[in-house]
Amino acid sequence: MIGTLKQNKPQIPQEFKPNKKRPVKSALFGHNQDKTICSYVQRKNRAVLLLSTMHQDQKLSGENDIPDMIIDYNNTKAGVDALDQLCANSRRTRRWPMVIFYAILNITGVIALIILQCNTDIDSVDDKTRRNLLQDLGIALVKPHIERRDVRPLSRELREVVLKLGGTPLPSTSSESEPMRKARCYICPR
């Protein structure tokens, strides 16, 4: 495991956080059993904090003496960044269960797109292909529910949409052709 840390965490020692006294291109390491924390100053007053269980040494490489932790992180973060970019246009909401639900839908949509690319000869996927794939996935997920749904309580417009998506039509009876009498609500005043 390797990843970046936010600098506002109280568990991070003050020496690892950015300050004016640390020189540029300097690295500071901390070790604890199987974990290593690295603080690297790229620019003045800017420190990058990484936590790793893969690295146990303080090895620096490259012409700028960059820690190996940062090089490994930069080499492997492309997939996460691509996933974040594809999921960035999700719907905004304040309800956290819906945020989790939308995140699950976004990630499964990206995974379905990757599976489609691997199984077909599509080299690049544009927004139209992705949109069509997500629409087909959505219809495939709701189709079993639509097929077994009772359409009688729905309005005429919704009934037509359900029938267009594969729902079962109602058997025509003579009672449907007669207008129904509407009963008065017993709660509402006369």
Distance in angstroms (rounded) separating the CA atoms of residues 93 and 99: 7
Instruction: Tell me the pLDDT band of 116, cut-offs 50, 70 and 90.
Output: confident
DSSP string, 70-115: HHHHHHH-HHHHHHHHHTTTPPP-S-HHHHHHHHHHHHHHHHHHHH
Q: Is the pTM of this model over 0.95?
A: no
What value, to the nearest 5°, has the Cα angle with vertex 136 and ends 131 and 137? 95
Phi, psi angles (nearest 5°) of residue 184: -75, 145
The least confident of 55-64, 100-109, 134-143 is 55-64
* 8 A C-beta contact, residue 24 and residue 41: yes
Give pLDDT, residue 174: 47
Q: Which helix (H) or strand (E) holds 21?
A: none
